[in-house]
């Protein structure tokens, strides 16, 4: 359920086993959507020596990038940070052809990094913090990213927005409008932005970063992604619409929200028999 304690972090999602499994499946879907480009083509991959993933969750992105990047001497330094260790693998792990160690540490993106991490990374990756950051926190997060980066280092920040529940068929069914509205209202009530990709882009444009690119990868016209996109949206309904309905007061208890969400899942799945879920996943890259 949503983690919202007074004076502590704000996070709409849970960190249980089901959520860890959802993050793994989500990773595969998003990488398929990007056409297996982990790092945007505008960034020279062969010059990277030290990579940080912020809000790393269970570290799936780092694990996969270790598998896809060629081995190097000295080995790549791969470091994940998350405000919670709840989804970290139990043991430190090493992966990929270079048997690269993946180091995972607890750290809040909104706090200053310890001295050993400042100026250490030439690439910082962030994916899907939309349910974790308040609108005003994007600026603070980017300021802290700047401190992690070496001069000329790159950031790649990837987000989806509230259009997530839509499909390529009009008119949209009422279940879609209801889900969008629940999540939008819950996010606004929590002080979050339902338009994270735009927020990231605008903050980068008003910061010291340069060479800013924004590219949206969509499922539109990609029928081969139909089943994976549908499964992803259903995962989002269970993970995000449920806490949203409790926050907005549409459901009194989590159990009540869960049963309402299952009705929405059934309606969405029925609709998708003749419709393609339209997912817009935006990648914003910039250089210091």
Ligand X SMILES: C[S@@+](CC[C@H](N)C(=O)[O-])C[C@H]1O[C@@H](n2cnc3c(N)ncnc32)[C@H](O)[C@@H]1O
Tell which one of 48, 51, 104, 109 touches ligand X (CB under 6 A). 109
Helix (H, G, I), strand (E, B) or coil at 186: helix
CB of 173 to ligand X, least distance (A): 26
Residue 69 CA to residue 99 CA, distance in Å, equals: 11
Tell which one of 14, 29, 52, 55 touches ligand X (CB under 6 A). 55
Q: Which two tokens stand for residue 249?
A: 């007061």
Which among 69-77, 90-98, 108-116, 221-229 is the span making contact with ligand X, rule CB under 6 A? 108-116
CB of 68 to ligand X, least distance (A): 16
Tell which one of 2, 13, 179, 237 touches ligand X (CB under 6 A). 13
Residue 61 CA to residue 47 CA, distance in Å, equals: 19
What end-to-end distance do the CA atoms of the chain give, in Å? Answer: 37
The residue (of 104 and 179) whose beta carbon lies closer to ligand X is 104
Interaction pattern, residues 130-149, with ligand X; x per rule: CB under 6 A: --x-----------------
Residue 156 engages ligand X in binding (rule: CB under 6 A): no
Cβ contact 284:200 at 8 Å: yes
46's CB contacts (< 8 A; 6+ apart) are none
The residue (of 129 and 245) whose beta carbon lies closer to ligand X is 129
Which among 56-64, 144-152, 167-175, 179-187 is the span making contact with ligand X, rule CB under 6 A? 56-64
Q: What are phi and psi of 36, to 5 degrees?
A: 60, 30
Which among 124-132, 190-198, 221-229, 277-285 is the span making contact with ligand X, rule CB under 6 A? 124-132
Tell which one of 2, 14, 23, 63 touches ligand X (CB under 6 A). 23
Nearest to 264 by CA among 156, 200, 177: 177
Residue 84 engages ligand X in binding (rule: CB under 6 A): yes
Interacting residues toward ligand X by CB under 6 A? 9, 11, 13, 23, 27, 54-57, 60-61, 82-84, 87, 108-110, 127-129, 132
């Amino acid at each position: 359920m949503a983690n919202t304690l007074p004076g502590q972090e704000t996070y709409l999602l849970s960190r249980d086993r089901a959520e860890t499994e959802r993050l793994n499946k989500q990773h595969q879907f998003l990488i398929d959507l990007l056409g297996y480009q982990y790092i945007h083509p505008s960034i020279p991959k062969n010059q990277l020596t030290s990579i940080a993933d912020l809000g790393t969750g269970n570290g799936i992105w780092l694990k996969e990038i270790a598998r896809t990047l060629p081995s190097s001497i000295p080995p790549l330094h791969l470091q994940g940070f998350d405000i919670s260790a709840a989804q970290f693998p139990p043991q430190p792990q090493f992966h990929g052809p270079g048997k690269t160690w993946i180091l995972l540490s607890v750290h809040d993106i909104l706090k200053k990094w310890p001295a050993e991490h400042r100026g250490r990374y030439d690439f910082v990756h962030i994916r899907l913090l939309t349910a974790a950051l308040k609108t005003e926190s994007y600026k603070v997060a980017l300021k802290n990213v700047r401190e992690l980066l070496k001069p000329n280092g790159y950031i790649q920040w990837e987000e989806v927005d509230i259009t997530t529940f839509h499909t390529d068929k009009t008119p949209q069914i009422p279940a879609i409008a209801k889900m969008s509205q629940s999540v939008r209202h819950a996010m606004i009530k929590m002080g979050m932005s339902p338009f994270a990709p735009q927020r990231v882009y605008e903050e980068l444009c008003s910061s010291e970063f340069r060479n800013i690119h924004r590219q949206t990868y969509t499922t539109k016209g990609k029928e081969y992604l139909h089943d994976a996109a549908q499964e992803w949206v259903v995962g989002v309904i269970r993970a995000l619409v449920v806490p949203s309905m409790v926050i907005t007061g549409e459901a009194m208890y989590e159990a009540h929200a869960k049963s309402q969400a299952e009705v929405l899942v059934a309606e969405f799945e029925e609709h998708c028999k003749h419709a393609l879920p339209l997912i817009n996943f935006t990648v914003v890259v910039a250089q210091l």
